[in-house]
Amino acid sequence: MGLHALGDSAWLFKASGSSSEKKLELILRLRRLLELNPIPGIVDIVSSFDTIAVHFNPADGQNVLDHLTSLHLDEAGDQQPSGSHTITIPVVYGGDHGPDLQTLANAKNLTVPEVIELHRNTEYTVAAIGFSPGFPYLQGLPPQLHQARHSSPRKVPPGSVAIAGEQAGIYPFASQGGWHVIGRTDLTLFDPHREHPALLQPGDKVRFVETKKLRKTKLHFPYPEASSDGIQVIEPGALSSIQDHGRWGHQHLGVSPGGAADPVLASIANRLVGNPDDAAVIECTMTGPLLQFGTDARVAWVGWANENSGRPHEIKSGGSVDLRSRMSHLRGYVAVAGGIAVPEVLGSRATDLRAVFGGHHGRILETGDILPIAKTSTTPVSDKWHVSWPRSDGNLMEIRYLRGVQADWFTEEAHCLFSENFYKISSSFDRTGTRLNGAKLKLREPREMVSQPVVAGSIQVPPEGQPIVLMSERQTIGGYPQIGHVISADIPKLARAWPGTQVRFREVDLDVARHAWNELQRDLAMLNTGLTMSI
C-alpha cells in the first residue's frame, strides 16, 4: 500500500494485492478503519476499486497526514468492513430499454437469453460509487460479457443497466454514457431527500432479476411557492445558476461538491452586502441577467467591466439591475443581503446541474423565475467601498500544478510539452472541467486504468491526449490518468479565464502550494478586515 498526494486537498492510498477482489477487500477494511477514527480536518472519504482518498481543506493537509500516519495503516487488515447488504435489482432486458443487448450478443457469439442469463446469474460487489450521485461500479461481471465501451458517449435514460470492460453499472440519472445498455430498472438509486440518499454503498452485494414491466416513477423535489417580493428574472443570461460554497461531505455517495466555480469572487460579492462567504448567490457565465426586485434589497455584483461592479447598491422595490453588459471575467456573481433563499439539499443551496437537484429547481435560471430572498440582520457595508480585486489576468496566464498520481505513466517528452508550451482554453468548457487545446500528451505504453478518486484541479488526459482540468462540478472518481493537479489557490484563476486564453503550466511542490493557499486566505482576510472597519 502506498500514500500519495492527490493535489493539495487529498491523500490517496493505493492497495497492493494478488487480485482485484483482494485489493477491494483491503480498501473496504481501510475505509472502516478511517470511519472509526475521524478528525475534524477530514471532510470526506472516497473509496474505489483499489484506492481510497481522504479529502481535506488545503490548510489542514499536514494535520490530516499526521493523523493518518498515527493509525498504523498496515493494521487495516485487522478491521472488519462495514456491514454489507444484498440488494435485488429488477431489470427489463432488451428492446427500447436495452438497445445494445442484441449487438452485444452478436459480438460475443451468444444468444440474447444467454447474455441475460450470464448477467443475472451472478452476485456483484459494489466496488465504488461515483461518476454521478449513486452510480455503482459493480465488480463480478462474467468474463464472457467483458466488452470495451463505445468509442463515444451518447445520452442514456435514468435506470439504464449497462456493462463496460470488466464492470457492470446502473445510471441513476439521464446521462452521457459510453457503456453498453442492456436493460433498465425502475428502482430509484439516488434521492437527495431520503434519509439515506444512495440505495447502494461500497461493499454491498447486488443481484439482478428479470422482470417484464417497469413501474412509472418520478422523483418530486419540493420547492416553495414563488413570492412576488423576490427577484424576478427578466432575462437570465447565457448560463446563470444558484451556487454557494458547495455540497461537502457527500462525495462518498458520488455527489460532486459543486458550488461556485470561483469561490473567491463569490465570497467578495457576499462580503460586499454583509453576508457570510457561503451564502447563496447567482453565478453568471459569459453574460449576466436582467433582474427586477419586488422588495427593497442591497445588492452587489463582481466580475463585470464597469464602475458599478464591486460595489454595494441599494435597490428599491420595483427597481432593476441590468448585467447584460460585458464581463471582465468568464464568470461573475450577484449577491443580495440575506442570500438567495432556495431550499437546502444535502446541506447546500448549490445547483447540481448534472444531477438536476438543488438551487432553483435543479436547473439554470430561466425567464420568469422568481428567486426568494432571505431576511438579513447584518450591518450593511459602506457604499463607498469599491473592490476591483482580483483583476483579470488577460489572455496569458501561468497556472501552478503538482505532479500527478499517474505522472510516471507519461513519456518524458509529454512532461516537457506540458510544462514548456502554452495551452489554449477550449470553447467547449463547462462546470465539470476546463478543456485545453495544445500539444498532445502520450503515455509510455497503452494502459488500462482502474477508476480512482479525483479532486478539483486534477488534470486528466483522455486517449486523444488533450488535457482536461476538473473543476467544481466534477465527478468524484475518474478513469483517465492524471499527469498533474492544479493547486487549489490557482483554480479560481482558471475559472475566470475566457476561452482562447493561453495557459502555461509550472510544476511546484507541496510547500509552494500550501504557501499559495495561505496567501490567498490572508488576502481575503485583509479584505474582510477593511470591509468590517468601514461599517
Does the pLDDT of residue 77 top 60, yes or no?
no
Assess whether 163 and 194 both reside in one domain: yes
Assess whether 194 and 285 both reside in one domain: no
Side by side, the strands of the sheet bearing 231-235 are: 320-322, 290-293, 231-235, 370-371
268 domain-assigned: yes
The CATH number of the domain holding residue 53 is 3.30.1360.40
Assess whether 428 and 328 both reside in one domain: no
- The DSSP result for 212-251, as a single string, is S-----------PPP-TTSEEEEE--SEEEEE-S--TT-G
pLDDT tens digit sequence for 369-413: 999 999 887 777 777 778 988 988 889 999 999 999 999 999 999
Distance, CA of 494 to CA of 503 (rounded, Å): 9
Q: Which of 1-15, 65-79, 211-225, 313-327 has the highest mean pLDDT?
A: 313-327
408 domain-assigned: yes
Buried b (16+ CB within 10 A) or exposed e, 486-525: bbbbbbbbbbbbbeebbbebeebebebbbebbeebeeebe
The CATH number of the domain holding residue 443 is 2.40.100.10
- Of 66, 86, 71, whose CA–CA distance to 29 is shortest? 71
pLDDT tens digit sequence for 266-302: 999 999 999 999 999 999 999 999 999 999 999 999 9
Assess whether 303 and 175 both reside in one domain: no
Residue with cell 466496488: 127
Does the pLDDT of residue 318 top 90, yes or no?
yes
- Of 281, 266, 255, 311, whose CA–CA distance to 495 is shortest? 266
Does the pLDDT of residue 76 top 70, yes or no?
no
Phi (first) and psi of residue 51, to 5 degrees: -140, 160
Separate counts of helices (H) and strands (E) for the chain: 8, 31
Distance, CA of 205 to CA of 123 (rounded, Å): 7
Residue 493: C-alpha distances to residues 21, 261, 487 (Å): 42, 10, 11
388 domain-assigned: no
pLDDT tens digit sequence for 423-474: 999 999 899 999 999 999 999 998 878 889 999 999 999 989 999 999 999 9
Assess whether 19 and 109 both reside in one domain: no
Assess whether 423 and 308 both reside in one domain: no
Buried b (16+ CB within 10 A) or exposed e, 115-138: bbebbbebebbbbbbbbbbbbbbb
Phi (first) and psi of residue 20, to 5 degrees: -65, -35
Assess whether 66 and 139 both reside in one domain: no
List Cβ neighbours of 407 (8 Å cut-off, separation of 6 or more).
415, 482, 483, 484
| pLDDT classification of 262: cutoffs 50, 70, 90 | very high
| pLDDT classification of 74: cutoffs 50, 70, 90 | low
**pLDDT given at position 220:** 60
Distance, CA of 238 to CA of 458 (rounded, Å): 27
Considering only the C-alpha atoms of the chain, give the largest distance between any 2 of them, rounded to a whole number of Å: 76
Number of domains into which the chain is organized: 4
Assess whether 43 and 149 both reside in one domain: no
The answer to whether the CB of 296 falls within 8 A of the CB of 315 is yes
Does the pLDDT of residue 91 top 60, yes or no?
yes
Assess whether 8 and 61 both reside in one domain: yes
Assess whether 48 and 98 both reside in one domain: no
152 domain-assigned: yes
pTM of the full predicted structure?
0.94
| pLDDT classification of 479: cutoffs 50, 70, 90 | confident
Domain boundary among 159, 181, 210: 210
**pLDDT given at position 383:** 76
Assess whether 101 and 72 both reside in one domain: no
Domain boundary among 337, 371, 405: 371
Residue spans of beta strands (DSSP E) within 229-289:
231-235, 239-243, 281-285
- The DSSP result for 313-325, as a single string, is EEE-TT-EEE--S
Assess whether 91 and 74 both reside in one domain: no
127 domain-assigned: yes
**pLDDT given at position 180:** 97
pLDDT tens digit sequence for 170-192: 999 998 888 999 999 999 999 99
**pLDDT given at position 392:** 83
The answer to whether the CB of 104 falls within 8 A of the CB of 145 is yes
Distance, CA of 502 to CA of 229 (rounded, Å): 44
Domain that holds residue 330: 231-371
Please report, rounded to a whole number, the percentage of residues in the chain having pLDDT higher than 90. 80
Distance, CA of 486 to CA of 403 (rounded, Å): 9
Tell me, what amino acid is at 79?
Q
Residue 256: C-alpha distances to residues 185, 347, 456 (Å): 24, 13, 10
**pLDDT given at position 71:** 84
Domain boundary among 162, 180, 210: 210
The answer to whether the CB of 292 falls within 8 A of the CB of 367 is no
The answer to whether the CB of 76 falls within 8 A of the CB of 29 is yes
Distance, CA of 331 to CA of 319 (rounded, Å): 24
409 domain-assigned: yes
523 domain-assigned: no
Does the pLDDT of residue 156 top 90, yes or no?
yes
Distance, CA of 46 to CA of 198 (rounded, Å): 14
429 domain-assigned: yes
The residues pairing with 51 across neighbouring beta strands, listed in sequence order, are: 14
SS3 533: helix
The answer to whether the CB of 310 falls within 8 A of the CB of 323 is no
The mean of the pLDDT values for the chain is 93
